[in-house]
Amino acid sequence: MLLPILLLSAAGFTVLTTEFVIVGLLPAIARDLAVTIPQAGLLVTLFAFTVAMFGPFLTAYFARFERRKLFITILIMFGLANTVAALAPNIWVMAIARLIPALGLPVFWALASETAVDIVGPDYAGRAIAKIGFGIVCATVFGIPVGTLISDAFGWRSAFAILAVIAFAKALLLFVYLPKTSLHQHQVSFASQFKILRSPLMIGHVVLSILVFSGMFTAYTYLADILERLAGFNGTVVGWCLMGFGAVGLIGNSLGGRAVDRHPLGASVLFCAFMIAGMVSLVPNIHSPLGLAVAMGIWGVTQAALFLVSHVRLMKAAPEAPAFAASLNIAGANLGIGLGAMIGGRVIDSAGLSFLGFAAAGFILLSVFLAMVLMTLKPRETCAQAS
């Protein structure tokens, strides 16, 4: 049953690249649409907040639908949205093009994760989702930086046009090769899924995801701008730097998949601690090739690991409704992404690019403290309160 997981991983590459490719394109989009970098950054916030607001409800509703048709429909929707983005004449049309796929991303990611766990069983959830997550890592290894390189060579609209073609192609592949048998067999009622929110531990896990991703994207949203303005790199060099950042994420994806199966909260604390080190050391080493490489390497490894760790952490906290729990993580993560993009923009306007790493590290430090508090809560007690 490895083929369905690999197909979903390939589709996940397209889905997540659509969300995050804009990180490398922000400077070019801002110039072409005549807006500031922080204003262009609001496109990241719009996408993220849409996912956060509607993700859990849409996932709970669409969990009853046949997976193959659902996944194909979502990819077609992504293809159409990227086509609109490629043709967008102004920031408002671009905003619409970002809004449409934001409705499909949480449904795809949560239900694809659940499908992978169904295939291998809950004991290997971390490793199964790591295979799905491989598509996410590839989105950062290849999708975002290649999008940046394409933008530098042919314009940012070309990046979205190519993404549209890829989305349609992936939909066709799923139609041909994804079996109908890769479907979750034990459906939980719409109302029952929301009962897990009565658990204080579950609420704590969601808040932890919000903090982690707020910290990540306070700085990561503007990483391309940091490399352009502070390091003095051109678009091509920025693209290769982002590719290196994503490439080391392959290590983080593997480490995260193994660590989260052993101790989800412990893995969160470990990777958060190292992420702080990478973030705060980036700007001080911005003109040192070795220092910059080490700082970006640590940040890249831990960021990829925390994508996976956060996702599996929520699913393991609610085994009775794993897809809905995954959607809660996606909602919390995207709320954090949106907040991070907004806060990062405010930091740039008020203090400058050089302070982004420290502001981001503050959120990650709060994440460490919260994870340690959650370790003291007993699942049996919180489950009893939720029943």
User: Residue 234 class from Cβ within 10 Å (0-12 exposed, 13-18 middle, 19+ buried)?
Assistant: exposed
For residue 327, the model assigns a pLDDT of: 81
Distance CA(80)–CA(86), nearest Å, equals 10
- Confidence band, pLDDT 50/70/90 cuts, at residue 299: very high
49, pLDDT greater than 60: yes
- Pick from 203, 218, 222: which is nearest to 339 by CA? 218
When pLDDT is averaged across residues 41-54 and rounded to a whole number, the result is 87
Terminal-residue alpha carbon distance, the chain: 35
181, pLDDT greater than 60: no
Phi, psi of 142 (to 5 degrees): -115, -45
> How high is the mean pLDDT of the chain?
85
101, pLDDT greater than 50: yes
For residue 324, the model assigns a pLDDT of: 80
For residue 29, the model assigns a pLDDT of: 93
When pLDDT is averaged across residues 128-137 and rounded to a whole number, the result is 70
Tokens 């391309």: give the residue: 224
For residue 277, the model assigns a pLDDT of: 95
- Confidence band, pLDDT 50/70/90 cuts, at residue 183: very low
Phi, psi of 21 (to 5 degrees): -60, -30
For residue 290, the model assigns a pLDDT of: 94
381, pLDDT greater than 60: no
CA 21 to chain centre: 11
Share of the chain above pLDDT 90, in %: 39
CB 310 within 8 A of CB 212: yes
For residue 322, the model assigns a pLDDT of: 73
293, pLDDT greater than 90: yes
CB 12 within 8 A of CB 71: no
CB 213 within 8 A of CB 340: yes
Structure-token pair, residue 379: 């699942």
179, pLDDT greater than 90: no
Distance CA(317)–CA(46), nearest Å, equals 28
When pLDDT is averaged across residues 131-140 and rounded to a whole number, the result is 72
The per-residue pLDDT for range 139-162, each reduced to its tens digit, is: 766 777 788 888 888 999 999 999
For residue 148, the model assigns a pLDDT of: 82
For residue 182, the model assigns a pLDDT of: 43
- Confidence band, pLDDT 50/70/90 cuts, at residue 190: low
For residue 193, the model assigns a pLDDT of: 67
| Residues 6+ away with beta carbon under 8 Å from 361 | 215, 275, 276, 279, 280
345, pLDDT greater than 80: yes
Cβ atoms within 10 Å, residue 339 = 22
Question: What's the full length of the chain, in residues?
Answer: 387
Structure-token pair, residue 347: 């930091």
For residue 162, the model assigns a pLDDT of: 94
Structure-token pair, residue 52: 């956060």
300, pLDDT greater than 80: yes
The per-residue pLDDT for range 216-233, each reduced to its tens digit, is: 999 998 898 899 999 989
Distances (CA, A) of 5 to 20, 116, 252, 285, 341: 22, 6, 19, 40, 31
Structure-token pair, residue 183: 């479907």
252, pLDDT greater than 60: yes
When pLDDT is averaged across residues 17-25 and rounded to a whole number, the result is 86
- Pick from 26, 51, 19: which is nearest to 348 by CA? 26
Structure-token pair, residue 140: 């950062």
For residue 387, the model assigns a pLDDT of: 42
Candidate ranges 104-113, 280-289, 310-319; pick with highest mean pLDDT: 280-289
Least confident span in 144-158, 271-285, 310-324: 310-324
For residue 215, the model assigns a pLDDT of: 95
For residue 373, the model assigns a pLDDT of: 93
Distance CA(285)–CA(30), nearest Å, equals 27
Distance CA(354)–CA(344), nearest Å, equals 11
CB 317 within 8 A of CB 329: no
Least confident span in 233-242, 352-361, 378-387: 378-387
Question: For the whole model, what pTM was predicted?
Answer: 0.76
